Structures are given as C-alpha cells and as structure tokens.
Amino acid sequence: MNHGLQIQENYSLRNYNTFNIDVSAARFVELISDDDIKKFVSQVKVLQPIYILGGGSNVLFLNDFRGLVVSIATKRIQKIDETESSIDLECAAGETWNDVVSFCVKNNYYGIENLVLIPGTVGAAPIQNIGAYGVEIKDILINVEGFDLDSKKLLTFTNKECEFNYRSSIFKTKLNGKFLITKVRVRLSKEKKYQLNYRALNEKFGNQNIESISIQDVANYIKQIRLEKLPDHTKLGNAGSFFKNPEIDIEHLEELKKQFKGIVYFAAATGNYKIAAGWLIEECGFKGKRIGNVSCYEKQALVIVNHGGATGNEIKEYAEKIQSAVKDKFRISLIPEVNII
C-alpha cells in the first residue's frame, strides 16, 4: 500500500496517546490530505487489524498494536452555508477540536462554546458524541462524511443516522473500525443562545441579563473550570474522564439516598437518574490514591493519571480496582468511557 503513502514500521505511539503509554504500532500511516485518504481507502485491506487514531485523547493501549494505526491529519474549517440566523461549517477530520471551538467563539457563532478545551480531533468527536457542561456534539451536528472501508464507498450519515447516545454513536458500535470519518458538518447560531443549565454555569451566569454575557465570557469560564479540575496531559498522562456517569432507576436511587446523604445525581433523559461517577469513586477513597505509577487525580477522582512509566495494563488494573470497590459499595457497575485497545 505504498504509491506515495509513507508506511512506517514499528512506529512509537507515545506522542499519539495522552496517557503517554510507551507502545508502538507494527505499521503506521499519517494521512494529511484528501488525496492521501483516497489512496489509503483504495488500497487498504480490512482483513488486517486497523485502528483509526484521532488525537489519542480517549484511548488506552495495553500492548503494542500488531496491525496498522491510521492517523488523520487533514486541516480545514470552511463556511458552506449561511442564513441571517445560522452558519454551517465543514471541518476536516484532522482539525484539532479546540481550534474549531476557538474559531466559533472568535466569530460569535453560538452553540459550541461549552465544548471548549476538550482534547482530540474533529473526526473523533462524533464517534464518542463528546459532551460537557450540558452540550453534546449531537446538538449542533448536521452530518458526518467518510469512507466505508469494506465497500470503499463515500457515505454521508445524517444526525439521526449517527445513532447518537450517551458517549456513543454508530461509529463506536456497528461501524467500529470499519468507517473512516473525513468531514464533519455543524450548524451554529448567529443569534445569542447559551446553554447555561449546568450547575456551575447557572451559578455564575443565571442572574445576569443574556445581553450582558459574551460568548467569550462563557468559554473563558468553562476553560477556567476545566483547568482547575483537570490535569494537563503533557505534564501528567491522562485521558480525561475515565468512566461514564452510570444510570440507575428511582428505586435504587431512593435506597442509596437513605444510606448516603451527599449522593450527587441528576435526572437522565430516559427517566432514570445519572449518578456522578467522580462522587462514587471519591466515596470509595480513590481520590489522590496512588498505586505504583497510577492514581486518581487529586482534584478530580474521575480522572486516572499516569505519573510516568505506567503501562497500559497497570492503568487498567487500577481502573478495575475502582470498578470492584464501587460495585461492592453501591451495587453500581462503572463502564469505561476510554477505549481500551
């Protein structure tokens, strides 16, 4: 599969995963243009193990990867449609997600500012249906374009066809490893609209007149919260929130409320209740607790960190200790948000 595509062998992935795990890929290719993508799709054989890597901010490698790792590095943010009240942008899959958010904030395009400082690439964002502070990418996404690696066809998935769910989509389930996202289209508002229901945002901005709040104010405040709560992966290897917030029914919640007065929960769209995974982990004594080279971050128990030199398996074992403790104490199963490879 050469013809102008440079395939590297035994390639270190240390700089391609935010846990800073020292693993390598048997073969590695970086696609930096649309032309590279077309060449790759026409030549790739899906029989071999393939892992499509975004920013590496939501992945935990346990071992060296025996197949081909594909990194998408295409860059482009382009206006494709505009009305008096909205603007549609097409973003290349290799764009850094935060650069797209910064572009929108700078231009007063509303709807994406709550997702500031989320690491990773545009192409990875719909796979995980990234979300923070009351907003998910599904709220602004028009469609996703890419190649089916089996049929080699260029396909477009509408928002509905993406089968978005909490931290999930069709690209993470049925099409996992079979679909190469090349472009994502989003629709932003040119009229002032904020999503400030999240508690910290409501406390800060709830009593203010919307006209007195700028998009920059909202983005800056969320940046401040994130920087206070989350470690910088270049200094302390991590992949952000390691677990999803689990969902339980009202009966289970009522039982737990009798035992644990401070339980942190909120209503889910399903009619059930989500429990803050960070609170569960903290209650089990893991906040700041270090075992070898691994701990939960001292300011946010939901983040597992590599203090340097940890293997993927050490991090996985630490995560399993947390799962076991939470299950024993609360009868709740924690599911990783991070993709374990």
- Hey, which residues are catalytic here? 167, 241, 337
Q: Cα(94)–Cα(200) distance, rounded to whole angstroms?
A: 31
Q: Cα(48)–Cα(26) distance, rounded to whole angstroms?
A: 11
CA-atom Rg of the chain in angstroms: 21
Total residue count of the chain as it appears in this document: 341
> From residue 170, how far is each of 177, 261, 322 by CA, in Å?
11, 38, 28
Q: If we measure between CA atoms, which residue out of 333, 314, 298, 272 comes closest to residue 21?
A: 314
> From residue 15, how far is each of 20, 21, 56, 181 by CA, in Å?
7, 9, 9, 22
Ordered DSSP codes for 286-319: -BT-EETTEEEETTEEEEEEE-SS--HHHHHHHH
Residues contacting residue 53 through CB under 8 Å, at least 6 positions apart: 13, 16, 59, 69, 70, 71, 72
State whether the Cα torsion 194-195-200-202 is positive or negative.
positive
Backbone angles phi, psi at 196, to 5 degrees: -120, 20
* DSSP code for 15: G
Q: Is 26 helix (H, G, I), strand (E, B) or coil?
A: strand
Cα dihedral 245/249/254/256 (nearest 10) = -40
